[in-house]
């Protein structure tokens, strides 16, 4: 009975996925945002924009990416994915990465690769929100980041960046018109934070909003604080800053606030 119920639920979500895919494929002008995630929509409004990652194969994700690649009305997209493989056994190397990605031959990974490949030709998306566990989502999306001149907002929530640091930095460097960057709750420390701020200072001079809460930019080194000071000093467009929940000392806060001529900031 339980198996039958699960199959009924899957068919219900599959039907909704087909409706979303039809709207994207036909460039529906009323569809401007889309959410791709596991689970199910929580209300009627979300159901109209929600593409569910179904079962162990994520069927249809490849077609969705291809269709998004040619749409001209979609402006906002959220990706909430879990690309983690099996946890290592207790007998494995104690230094084994607990967030290792799904193997390349896993159907979910195959679908994700094809989805990102199709997405690469999209030039309408202005905002992308990533909440992806495991997998090299930054590397897979790199062609999209490079080719979309309209992308002005990048939100990164709790994405695992282990061993994928260069691709994350490439994403921040290769986007051509970022005005809003939000990197939330990733526990990034001084050295990593410093490289992010330096990259934004050099490659995104038009940046207007920077949100960096829930990290540890002053931990282990002073590079994060120094690079943030330089960013604030050199920026002509930045008007909103959030560096709350970063465990900054009073002295560090004073140094950052010294350069603030912002409309909004949270420390």
Query: By residue range, what is the domain housing residue 3?
Result: 1-86+97-178
* pTM score over 0.75: yes
- Lowest mean pLDDT segment, chosen from 17-26, 123-132, 256-265: 256-265
Last residue of a domain, which of 151, 178, 205? 178
Are 173 and 217 part of one and the same domain? no
Write the pLDDT tens digit of every residue in 119-133: 999 999 999 999 999
Are 45 and 10 part of one and the same domain? yes
Write the pLDDT tens digit of every residue in 162-217: 668 899 999 999 999 999 999 999 889 999 999 999 999 999 999 999 999 999 88
Number of domains, the chain: 2
Whether the CB-CB separation of 242 and 210 falls below 8 Å is answered with: yes
Last residue of a domain, which of 149, 178, 207? 178
CATH number for the domain harbouring residue 21: 3.80.10
């Amino acid at each position: 009975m339980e198996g039958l119920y699960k199959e009924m639920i899957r068919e219900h979500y599959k039907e909704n996925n087909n409706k979303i895919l039809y709207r994207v494929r036909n460039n529906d002008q009323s569809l401007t945002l889309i959410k791709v995630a596991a689970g199910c929509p929580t209300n009627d409004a979300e159901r109209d924009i929600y593409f569910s990652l179904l079962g162990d194969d994520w069927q249809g994700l490849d077609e969705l990416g291809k269709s998004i690649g040619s749409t001209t009305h979609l402006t906002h997209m959220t990706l909430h994915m879990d690309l983690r493989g099996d946890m290592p056994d207790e007998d494995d190397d104690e230094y084994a990465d607990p967030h290792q990605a799904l193997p390349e031959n896993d159907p979910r990974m195959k679908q994700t690769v094809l989805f990102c490949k199709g997405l690469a030709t999209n030039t309408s998306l202005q905002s992308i929100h990533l909440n992806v566990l495991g997998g090299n989502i930054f590397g897979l999306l790199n062609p999209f980041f490079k080719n979309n001149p309209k992308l002005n907002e990048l939100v990164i929530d709790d994405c695992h960046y282990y061993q994928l640091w260069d691709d994350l930095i490439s994403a921040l460097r290769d986007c051509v018109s970022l005005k809003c960057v939000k990197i939330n709750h990733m526990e990034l420390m001084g050295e990593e934070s410093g490289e992010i701020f330096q990259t934004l200072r050099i490659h995104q001079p038009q940046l207007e909003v920077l949100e960096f809460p829930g990290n540890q930019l002053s931990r282990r080194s002073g590079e994060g604080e120094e690079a943030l000071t330089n960013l604030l000093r050199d920026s002509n467009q930045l008007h909103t800053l959030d560096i709350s929940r970063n465990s900054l000392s009073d002295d560090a806060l004073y140094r950052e606030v010294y350069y603030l001529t912002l409309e909004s900031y949270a420390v």
